[in-house]
Amino acid sequence: MRYAGIDIGSRTIELIVLKDREIIEQRQTDTGFDPMARTDELLEGVEYDRILATGYGRNLFELSFGAPTVTEIKAYGVGIGSLFRTAGTILDIGGQDSKAIALNDKGKITKFEMNDRCAAGTGKFLEIMARSLGYTIDQFGTEALKATKNLQINSMCTVFAESEVTSLVAKGEDPREIALGLHRSVVRRAVSMLKRVSSGNDVVFAGGVAKNPCIRRLLEDTLERQVLVPEDPQMVGALGAALLAGENK
C-alpha cells in the first residue's frame, strides 16, 4: 500500500509518498495564486492508495478531492517524532504562521502555541524585509551573518518595520546590520513562544525559515543549546500526513 501526505502551505506545497514507511516519492512546488491547480500538477502521475492533506490549504483540498485532512500541529508532531526520537519541542516557522509544539517522551503533543494573526515573525515577514533591503530571501540570512553590530528594530508589525527599515537605510546604516536586527527580532518572538511550551528535551526547528542560517545561529545562541534541523525542513508536514494516512486505514 502507498500512503501520501500533502502539505499545502501559503508559499509552497510538499508531497511525500510512503511504502512500508519508506519515502518512494517526494515533490515540491510553489503554491502560486491557484493552490488547487498547482496541486493537480503536483499529483500528476503519482500513484497512492490513500492521501491525507495538511497545511494552510487543506480544507480546499478536502472540498476538491474529497480526501481527509489533519491539522498542521498533529502532522508536524508525527513527522518530527519519526525523525528525531529525542525531540521535546518543535519550532515551525513557515510563510504564513509560526508554531511552538511540545512533545512528551512518547512523542505525543502536550501543548502548543501558534501565531497566525499577522505576518510578524513568519517567512512572509522575512521575505518583505529582505526585499526592502534589496536582498533575495536566500541572500538575507547569509548577509545578516556578516554584520559586525546589531541595530535594534523596534516594531514587529510588517508595515511599521518596513517603514523603520526605510528610515535606517536613508540614514546610511549598513543593510547587513539592519538585516541582523530584523533576524534578532524574529528570534526573540520565536524563543518567547518556545519558552512557554518547552519540555526540556531536544529542540527541533522545521519549516521553510529553518533554511535560514542566521535564524538557526541566533536560536542556538539565545537558547544556549544545539537546535536540530531536518535534512529537508519543509517536508515535515507532508511526512507526518503520509504516516498518519498509513495509520488511519
Domain segments of the chain: what residues? 2-72+236-247, 87-229
Residue spans of beta strands (DSSP E) within 31-108: 50-54, 87-93, 98-103
Q: Is 177 helix (H, G, I), strand (E, B) or coil?
A: helix
87-229 in CATH: which number? 3.30.420.40
Cβ contacts of 44 within 8 Å, gap of 6 or more: none
Task: Give 231-234's long-range contacts (Cβ < 8 A, gap of 24+).
Answer: 232/26, 233/205, 233/206, 233/207, 233/208, 234/12, 234/14, 234/28, 234/206, 234/207, 234/208, 234/210
Q: Taking all residues of the chain, what is their mean pLDDT, rounded to a whole number?
A: 92
Greater model confidence, 120 or 19: 19
The set of cell numbers assigned to 215 is: 535564524
| 192, containing H or E segment | helix 175-197
| Fold category of 2-72+236-247 in CATH | Nucleotidyltransferase; domain 5 (3.30.420)
Mean pLDDT for the stretch of residues 164-174: 91
d(CA 96, CA 116): 7
**Residues 106-155: pLDDT tens digits?**
889 999 998 866 667 788 899 999 999 999 999 999 999 999 887 888 77
pLDDT score of 28: 98
**Residues 63-112: pLDDT tens digits?**
999 999 999 999 999 999 999 999 999 999 988 889 999 999 888 999 99
pLDDT score of 95: 85
Contact between 49 and 3 (Cβ < 8 Å): yes
The set of cell numbers assigned to 75 is: 502532522
d(CA 8, CA 42): 11
- What would you report as the CA-atom Rg of the chain, rounded to the nearest whole angstrom? 18
Q: Is 140 helix (H, G, I), strand (E, B) or coil?
A: helix
d(CA 27, CA 51): 14
pLDDT at 176 over 90: yes
pLDDT score of 118: 65
> Residue 51's CB: how many other CB atoms inside 10 A?
21
Kindly report the pTM of this predicted structure. Answer: 0.92
d(CA 19, CA 23): 7
Mean pLDDT for the stretch of residues 46-62: 96
pLDDT score of 4: 98
pLDDT score of 52: 98
pLDDT score of 122: 86
Beta bridge partners of 19: 2, 22
Cβ contacts of 110 within 8 Å, gap of 6 or more: 102, 103, 104, 199
Domains 2-72+236-247 and 87-229 equal at CATH topology level: yes
